[in-house]
A and B are shown apart, each in its own frame.
Chain A
Amino acid sequence: MDITWYLSLSAVLFTIGVLGVLLRRNVIVIILSVELMLNAVNLTLVAFSQAFGDVDGQILVFFVMSVAAAEAAVGLAIVIAMFRNKLTINVDEIRLFRG
Chain B
Amino acid sequence: MLEPFLFFVFAVLCVAGSLGMLLSRSPVAGALWMVQTMLSIACLYLTLNAGFIGVVQVLVYAGAIMVLFLFVIMLLNLEDVPKLSAFSWTRVAAFVGGVCVLALLLTVIAGQADLLPDTDTVAVAVVETQPPAVLAEPDGEIVAVVPGEAVAVPIDPTSVERIGVALLTRHAFSLEIIGALLLAATIGAVLLAKKRFV
Contact = CB atoms under 8 A, between A and B. Distances in A.
Interface of A: 1-9, 11-20, 22-26, 28-29, 31-33, 35-36, 39, 42-43, 46-47, 49-56, 58-59, 61-63, 65-74, 76-85, 89
A32 to B, nearest CB: 5
9 contacts: A12-B102, A15-B102, A39-B41, A50-B157, A51-B121, A58-B53, A73-B68, A76-B72, A77-B193
Interface of B: 3-4, 7, 11, 14-15, 18-19, 21-22, 27, 30-31, 34, 37-38, 41, 44-45, 48-50, 52-53, 56-57, 60-61, 64-65, 68-69, 72-73, 75-76, 78, 81, 84, 91, 94-95, 97-99, 101-102, 105-106, 109-110, 113, 116-123, 155, 157-158, 162-163, 166-167, 171, 174, 178, 181-182, 184-186, 188-193, 195, 197-198
Contacts of A47: 48, 119
Contacts of B14: 9, 13
B102 A1 contact: no
Contacts of A67: 178, 181
Contacts of B99: 15
Given A7-B109, A20-B21, A55-B158, A69 B34 contact: no
Leading 10 A-B pairs by shortest Cβ distance = A53-B123, A70-B185, A22-B94, A11-B105, A77-B192, A15-B102, A19-B98, A77-B189, A51-B117, A77-B193
A55 B161 CA distance: 10
Contact of A43 (B41, B98, B121): B41
Contacts of A7: 109, 116
Given A6-B48, A51-B118, A55-B157, 5 more contacts: A9-B15, A23-B95, A36-B34, A39-B61, A81-B192
A22 B65 contact: no
